[in-house]
Structure 1
Amino acid sequence: MRAFVLAAALVSTLALASCGQSSETQGAAPAAVGGGDVEPVPTGPVLSGVGTVASLEGRTMAIDHEAVEGGLPAGRHEFRAYATVLAEAPLEPGSRVAFSYQAAEPMPVLTELSAR
């Protein structure tokens, strides 16, 4: 009986030890989805402005805009634009838009975009 208890304890210990991470994966950082770098999350206050769509290439939208109080000076600036923001927005160059954004690197991120 004593041998059976020792054998069961040994099997349980070995089974639990095999559940841990292998030495090859310890300390390794998880890979980013799609193999690219993870983009930083926008921070700071949400600022709003009005302007005209200058261009849209991929996820980068250029907007010619008036000065944004507490934010960007008047001029053309590029913004990161995600599909959820672009879904209902006017995308053609020359379209007047109202927009909101947050600071991020390498460029600000649009949080809202609508026809004006």
Structure 2
Amino acid sequence: MFLTAVKLAIHLSTSQPFQRLGAKLHLPQLDECKHLEVDPQNLAYLECIIRTAAITGYHPGGTCKMGSPYDDTAVVDPMLRVRGVHGLRVMDASIMPTPISGHPNSLLIAMADRAADLILHY
């Protein structure tokens, strides 16, 4: 699927509208792929750069779930304290019970503000 998206991006970059804008294709030259010809039509090369350098566009969350004291799957309690560890709190996207569909920036700012209140007052 990722390869299909890369091939589409390459195709679009060579289209007339993009060419009129001066679009240029940049293909990374990675050490891990140097044994392959750097060519946008070389599927083995494209697969190599995807395997080597691709990163997720998602903002992971839910890996250190916050929940009630009765939720055995929760790592952090509602006061952001790590269960079973004295003096440690967690406040980042990992405490959300599940990842959100949008960008988490504004939500994380609000969560950090609340975390500051918890730390200062409790």
Higher relative contact order (CA 8 A, sep 6+): 1
TM-score range for the pair, normalised by the shorter chain length: under 0.3
Bigger helix share = 2
Q: Please, what TM-score do these two structures have when normalized by structure 2?
A: 0.27
Bigger strand share = 1
Larger gyration radius, structure 1 or structure 2: 1
Q: Please, what TM-score do these two structures have when normalized by structure 1?
A: 0.28
